[in-house]
Amino acid sequence: MKHIIYRVDDRFIHGQVLEGWVNYLHIKDIMIVNDIIANDSIRASIYQSTLPSGSKFSVYTVNDFCEKKPYLKNKKKFTLILLGSVDDLLKIKETFSSNIYFNIGCVADITHEVCINDSVFLSLNDFQKLQILSENYDIYFHKVPWEKPVIFSNHKRA
């Protein structure tokens, strides 16, 4: 698995993220990229309080994340970047490098036109956006790292 994990999960930090990703992969660097949470210090503090001691936690608006690109070059340890939507994931595409892993963990779009698995229900619009992203990257749909993922791959390999 690549060291930079972009995870779309509309619940952000919860049990699967803590036990399944942070603890399982020994992730110490966790970021949330979300305009609402970045502007709500109480909510951000609640998320931070759930993390293991010694974790580095940051919250960014989508624009700040793109401008600051606060991380990523030559990462040797896992970094988890949490986003609440496929839209936000595509808005930060300029930050993508080759050392990344895309995970769609939980998206419960109320239109749920496309069911990927028991925790990912996408609008047709989001599904089409992921199709575009999959032209260059594999996308993995699973709740926790040890679960067998559904792989969305549409890109041409050299």
Domain that holds residue 20: 4-152
Which whole number is the average pLDDT over 110-128?
Answer: 84
What is the count of structural domains for the chain?
Answer: 1
Full-model pTM: 0.89
Higher pLDDT, residue 75 or 128:
128
pLDDT value of position 71: 61
Question: Residues 134-149: pLDDT tens digits?
Answer: 988 899 999 999 999 9
Would residue 157 count as lying in a domain?
no
Residue-wise pLDDT for 32-44, tens only, equals 999 999 999 999 9
What confidence tens digit (pLDDT) does each residue in 51-94 have? 999 999 999 999 999 988 766 665 667 899 999 999 999 999 88
Q: Which stretches within the chain are classed as H helix?
A: 15, 35-38, 41-49, 62-68, 86-91, 124-133
Question: Does the structure show a pLDDT above 60 at 107?
Answer: yes
Residue percentage of the chain with pLDDT more than 70: 92
Domain for residue 10, yes or no? yes
What distance in Å separates the CA atoms of residue 40 and residue 52, rounded to the nearest whole number? Answer: 21
134 found inside a domain: yes
Domain membership flag for residue 31: yes
Residues 6 or more apart in contact with residue 131 via CB below 8 angstroms: 152, 154
| 158 part of a folded domain | no
| Tokens encoding 106 | 């939980």
CATH, residue 120: 3.40.35.10
8 C-beta neighbours (distance < 10 Å), count: 25
Residues constituting the chain: 158
CA atoms within 13 A on the CB side of 78: 20
Judge whether 80 lies within some domain: yes
Say yes or no to pLDDT of 119 above 90.
no
